[in-house]
Copies of this chain bind each other. A is one copy, B any other.
Amino acid sequence: MMSEVETRTASEHTRARLLDAAREVFSQYGFQGATVREICRRADANGAAVNYHFGSKEGLLTEALNFSQLAALQNDNVKSADCPKERLRLFLRDFMLMLLDEKNASSQCRIMARELADPTPALDQIVSEAIAPLHKFLGKLLREIVGDQVSETELRRCVYSILGQCQFYRHSHPVLQRMNPKLRYDHKEIEAIAEHIADFSLAGIRHLAKKST
């Protein structure tokens, strides 16, 4: 039964299944709400597997976090040859697709969003590895758009305004769906949302840039 060639060892296979299940369950129920037993059940692993492989529930969360997709998105954007405004549009499109697409491996972002409401010790890692770089990336991008006249404080608030809009759709999803049952985050809808945020924000940014000159 142990003749698999793909997976290195059975142990690593279990580890991987646990990580997958963990991302799923953590993103769905949050760190507190998620139970080790449920994660093990979905991973078809024994209840002691988490502690054996990751030391603790928290260790599992730490290893389950993976921001490579978010980092790649920013990297690609920086390398693109488009003008800053267009790059903001592109970023918002990709970011919202990652953030809202249900099928996507956006569990990372969902876990992140949950941590905001309910910080665990993993929040430090999330802030330094994902959120801070993201803010820095957006800050630079906006700086290219507004020029040098806008203060750092105002620029930071613009970053907040943009991220606030983005997070709203993920964060308030349960509420929005109750008030508007036909709401569905399909590909087309997500692109429309991203476009709205881009239009809305670029107008807001331009206004600030004008005001300060």
Chain A residues close to B by CB (< 8 Å): 30, 32-33, 113-114, 116-119, 123-124, 127, 131-132, 135, 154, 156-158, 160-161, 163-169, 171-172, 174-176, 178-180, 193, 196-197, 199-208, 211
Known A-B contacts A127-B179, A193-B157; A33 and B203 likewise in contact (beta carbons under 8 Å): no
Instruction: State whether B124 touches A113 (Cβ < 8 A).
Output: no
Most buried by B among A33, A124, A166, A168: A168
Bound: A132/B172 CA distance, A: 12
Oligomeric state, in copies: 2
Instruction: State whether B206 touches A118 (Cβ < 8 A).
Output: no
Measured CB to CB, the nearest residue on chain B to A123 is B174
Chain B proximity of A126: nearest CB distance (Å): 8
Chain B residues near A124: list those with CB within 8 A: 178
Known A-B contacts A118-B30, A203-B207; A127 and B161 likewise in contact (beta carbons under 8 Å): no
Chain B residues near A33: list those with CB within 8 A: 32, 118
Chain B residues near A156: list those with CB within 8 A: 180
Instruction: State whether A179 touches B30 (Cβ < 8 A).
Output: no
Measured CB to CB, the nearest residue on chain B to A128 is B178
Instruction: State whether B157 touches A196 (Cβ < 8 A).
Output: yes
Bound: A145/B208 CA distance, A: 20
